């Protein structure tokens, strides 16, 4: 099939910092044998504005003869919705949503009529809205296996790699003091210096640090880590738990996933067998220390996590199922 992947390439708009979704929405599709082209709606809007981006999108889809267009919504208007509707005359356009748990009502549901299909990763959103929006599809984030190395020596004990914002600073500082957590990514320098987040800290040169530009380097940290701290709280509200992409992204690395106790996660992995859940930070500290002291148990759970991910949660498998759901065959 010919597929157009409409996704931002730069992580948070920073040149040279590759957005993982760009890799995940292009390379696994190519690995399946499809011809994949890229349309960077974030960059094109920056250059040509909202209307200009829409015009270029319509022309690209009209002339491309694509079997499918995969479109990242990401909670922003990259082009006028009418441009999406017009482009859908020339091929099916499938929206992939993020953060529907808190922005479905305020944002993404309003876009649903413009797309041929719309994907949510939240089962409760799907169940509550599938009758009103018959083009709604349930899917989930996945793992791209290019960068995983299960056999890599685990020479890092307890780590977190990702953006540090809001409550994550406080929680990571606590885990650093109590369990030796090592933190990497934007905001990690604050944690490692023992500083809390404060208004204006992002404007102090060198204090916040930078995101890790190379997604392979993110995976290398997972590959080397015996235990990976995996907070699931929303950036809006830490009490609102989400199934985040990292739950699947690090699944082949050989790390043990230590995460918030989120009942929805049992849809994908078995608690106590494929991963370890904690109730609060004190429980997280105790379990991190326990599994660092009991390597055989840690390795057994990490292996089960790996095997389940490989069998059920690769991006390639997600896309094959998506194609079936929208009537595009088995591959």
Q: List the chain pLDDT tens, one digit each, 331 residues.
A: 999 999 999 866 566 667 889 999 999 999 999 999 999 999 999 999 999 999 999 999 999 999 999 999 987 899 999 999 999 999 999 999 988 999 999 999 999 999 999 999 999 999 999 999 999 999 999 999 999 999 999 999 999 998 887 788 889 999 999 999 999 977 677 777 665 655 544 444 444 455 555 788 999 999 999 999 999 998 777 788 999 999 999 999 999 999 999 999 999 999 999 999 999 999 999 999 999 999 999 999 999 999 999 999 999 999 999 999 999 865 4
Q: Examine domains 2-142+314-325 and 145-312 and report if their fold is the same.
A: yes
Which residues have C-beta within 8 Å of that of residue 25, sequence separation ≥ 6? Answer: 5, 7, 70, 72, 96
Check: CB of residue 184 under 8 Å from CB of residue 161.
yes
Could you tell me if residue 206 is left (phi over 0), alpha (psi between -120 and 50 degrees) or otherwise beta? Answer: left
CA-CA-CA-CA torsion sign (8, 10, 187, 146): positive
Q: Residue 229 CB: number of other CB atoms within 10 A?
A: 24
In this prediction, residue 204 carries a pLDDT of 41
The arrangement of secondary structure in 145-312, i.e. its CATH architecture, is 3-Layer(aba) Sandwich (3.40)
CA 158 – CA 85 distance, rounded (Å): 47
pLDDT of amino acid 210: 53
Residue 246: per-residue pLDDT: 94
Whole-angstrom CA distances from 36 to 4, 11, 32, 70 are 6, 20, 10, 10
Q: Which residue has the tokens 């989930």?
A: 140
The DSSP H or E segment spanning 41 is: helix 41-64
Domain residue spans of the chain: 2-142+314-325, 145-312
CATH class for the domain made up of 2-142+314-325: alpha beta
**CA distances from residue 201 to 12, 182, 236 in whole angstroms, order as listed:** 18, 21, 19
């Amino acid at each position: 099939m010919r597929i157009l992947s409409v996704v931002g390439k730069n992580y948070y708009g920073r040149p040279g910092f590759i957005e993982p979704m760009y890799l995940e929405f292009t390379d696994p599709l190519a690995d399946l044998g499809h011809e994949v082209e890229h349309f960077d709606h974030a960059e094109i809007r920056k250059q040509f504005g909202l209307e200009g981006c829409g015009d270029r999108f319509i022309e690209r889809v009209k002339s491309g003869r694509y079997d499918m267009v995969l479109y990242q919504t990401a909670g922003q208007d990259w082009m006028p919705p009418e441009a999406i509707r017009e482009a859908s005359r020339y091929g099916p356009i499938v929206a992939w949503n993020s953060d529907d748990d808190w922005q479905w009502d305020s944002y993404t549901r309003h876009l649903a009529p413009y797309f041929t299909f719309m994907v949510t990763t939240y089962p409760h959103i799907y169940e509550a809205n599938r009758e009103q929006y018959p083009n709604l599809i349930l899917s989930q984030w996945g793992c791209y296996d290019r960068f995983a190395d299960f056999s890599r020596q685990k020479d890092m004990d307890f780590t977190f790699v990702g953006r540090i914002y809001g409550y994550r600073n406080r929680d990571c500082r606590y885990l650093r003091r109590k369990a030796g957590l090592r933190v990497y990514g934007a905001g990690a320098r604050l944690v490692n210096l023992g500083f809390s987040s404060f208004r204006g800290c992002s404007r102090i040169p060198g204090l916040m640090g930078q995101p890790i530009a190379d997604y392979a380097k993110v995976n290398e940290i997972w590959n080397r880590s015996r235990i990976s701290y995996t907070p699931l709280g929303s950036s809006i509200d830490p009490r609102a738990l989400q199934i985040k992409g990292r739950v699947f992204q690090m699944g082949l690395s050989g790390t043990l996933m230590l995460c918030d106790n989120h009942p929805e996660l049992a849809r994908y992995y078995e608690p106590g067998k494929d991963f370890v859940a904690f109730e609060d930070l004190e429980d997280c500290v105790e379990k991190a220390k326990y599994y660092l002291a009991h390597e055989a148990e840690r390795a057994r759970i990490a292996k089960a996590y790996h095997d389940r991910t490989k069998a059920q949660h690769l991006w390639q498998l997600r896309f094959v199922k998506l194609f079936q759901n929208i009537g595009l065959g088995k591959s």
